[in-house]
Chain A
């Protein structure tokens, strides 16, 4: 590094003087404006779309279960024999799992975009 500086320091000083003169608040604003704008709408949009998608998928679960029941009568036994309290707990769990899935999916999208 020292060798590098000693060899070119006369020219480097000239270049640095030029670079110093290029400092501009307008350029910082120019760079940051699209970043700030994008961040403002992107997160709500991403999470909103993800939430709607997951919600739509969950709303179809009961229909799918009914379909499964009609096609495979054996499943009735399983569902009918689950105690009511346990069943409601499971429904809460589904919502918790769905919320976690939404958050993880969105975080994964953001992380992938950054990588």
Chain B
């Protein structure tokens, strides 16, 4: 039987590094995925993901149950916001570098590229809501809690973002 997130978090809170390492293994894909979709470049994205996990380690005592993924993604989103405040100009999205990290077949890589390209075209707040809700699997309420957007705004951003992604990923539109 798999150990629950709450049990691992309690272990980590009591200083067990192995418990926290298990959580890192469990959620590294989700967190790195979120930061890669939000940050302009993969290198920065992994820095953000690392910073998010280190913050989670320091703050693990404040986790009181509920969705650990939502808790972690909220931290990752805040790390992204902090980093963005420090950065002055918007850096161009480096598509080529993004592709290198994916070890997948050419067909899957093409899918990833299409998805990345489609995500890039969304307005930022819409992209944030789609990334947290659709990609990371947070509920609308959890995304509202993480971003501070009103619940109705989150739903609206997600619906519009999903519609735009579907439209762009439709076979007729894929390059």
Contact = CB atoms under 8 A, between A and B. Distances in A.
Contacts of B120: none
A92 to B, nearest CB: 31
A73 to B, nearest CB: 51
B28 A35 contact: no
Most chain B beta carbons < 10 A, residue from A8, A28, A31, A36: A31
Interface residues of B, number: 43
Given A28-B21, A115-B61, A15 B50 contact: no
A28 B134 contact: no
Contact of B24 (A17, A20, A31, A114): A31
Size class of the contact patch on chain A: 20 to 34
Interface string B159-175: 00010011001000000
Given A11-B134, A36-B17, A39-B15, A19 B58 contact: no
B112 A18 contact: yes
Nearest to B33: A19
**Dominant SS among interface residues on chain B:** helix
A21 B17 contact: no
Contact of B32 (A14, A22, A35): A22
**Dominant SS among interface residues on chain A:** helix
Nearest to B49: A27
10 contacts: A7-B162, A18-B115, A21-B102, A21-B104, A28-B24, A32-B21, A32-B24, A35-B57, A39-B15, A115-B59
Interface of B: 13, 15, 17, 20-21, 24-25, 28-30, 32-33, 36, 46, 49-50, 53-54, 57-62, 101-104, 108, 111-112, 115, 133-137, 139-140, 162, 165-166, 169
